[in-house]
Amino acid sequence: MDSRKLELVVKIGSMALIRREDNDIDYNLFSRLSGELKPGMAVVSSGATEIGRLDYMKRHGCELTGDPEDNKTDYAAQGQAILMATWRQFIHPDYQVRQVLVEHNHFNDPQKREHLRRMLLRCADQAAIPIINYNDAVSDEENRKLELQRLHTDHPDENVVECVDNDETAAVVSELIHAKTMVLLTSADGIYRDPHDPSTLVTDVTAPDADLLTARIRELQSHCVGASRAGANGAGAKLAFALRSALQGVTVIIGSAKKYRLGELLDGSAPCTRISLE
């Protein structure tokens, strides 16, 4: 891997980072994945809100009972420190670890986007691994929607991004740094035609042109229902963001963080869904 470039973006979802049955962080997963991370990779890490919720419950014996949006903000602020401390604990001590909290305006503003791009690219040269997360602690849905609407109105020809879903954040980062590969780590082996039948795992979605790849992704989305947790957008949204990256020439891999190592997903020895233009 060229140390001057960020060629791989790895996104991991909240549910992959915890042991749901124990209401605790999955430290084994953090350890295993961190052992494979090195400069030249960028990590888009969900988990702050869920980890903050679990930490609050441990300390108080119950969940917050206020407004759901306020609860999310408070959990994220509590969980962000734990999330970063855990990554720092397990990533190789020779490597720098840098927290990068982003919001939609960082990507929708050309100057901020370029500033962020240069910073991310410097990480590879400085033996640093950026850990990127949407800044939930300052996110207010109503204000965000108003800001996005103004951007759509003022710049109708531009692709305005929201990035509150970290699958979208990973896709936007992959595009920004011209990554070769994006891995979306989940608690499932990939995308299924029937989520209740493991034999229906779709292993390859490829096409020689953008129109045919788009059509194949749209057909797959018709089989996607539900999500892993409240507030998540599910496999259909994941496929939409995967398509965005694939149309930019990025090879997208969707696979299980719980069952397989990152290297196994990259070299094709583990079952997963792989999306790309031929």
φ and ψ at residue 35, rounded to 5 degrees: -65, -20
- Does 27 fall in a domain? yes
Full-model pTM: 0.88
Confirm if 255 and 185 have CB atoms less than 8 A apart: yes
- Does 2 fall in a domain? no
- In this structure, what CATH number is given to the domain that contains residue 61? 3.40.1160.10
Domains held by the chain: number: 1
- Does 3 fall in a domain? no
The dihedral region occupied by 7, where left means phi > 0, alpha psi between -120 and 50, and beta the remainder, is: alpha
Q: What is the pLDDT of residue 157?
A: 55
Nearest to 185 by CA among 78, 41, 6, 89: 41
Q: Residue 147's pLDDT band (boundaries 50, 70, 90)?
A: low
d(Cα 95, Cα 61) in Å, to the nearest integer? Answer: 37
Polymer length in residues for the chain: 278
For residue 116, give its domain range.
Answer: 8-277
- Does 1 fall in a domain? no
Q: What is the pLDDT of residue 150?
A: 62
From residue 16, alpha-carbon distances to 24, 33, 50, 223 in Å are: 11, 11, 11, 22
> What mean pLDDT do residues 175-182 have?
95
Confirm if 169 and 132 have CB atoms less than 8 A apart: yes
**Amino acid sitting at position 190:** G
- Does 245 fall in a domain? yes
Q: Residue 230's pLDDT band (boundaries 50, 70, 90)?
A: very low
- Does 206 fall in a domain? yes
Give yes or no for residue 94 having a pLDDT over 80.
yes
d(Cα 203, Cα 273) in Å, to the nearest integer? Answer: 4
From residue 35, alpha-carbon distances to 68, 70, 94, 219, 258 in Å are: 35, 35, 12, 37, 14
Average pLDDT taken over every residue of the chain: 88
- Does 28 fall in a domain? yes
- Does 142 fall in a domain? yes
Residue 129: strand pairing partners: 97
SS3 37: coil
In the chain, the percentage of residues whose pLDDT exceeds 70 is 86
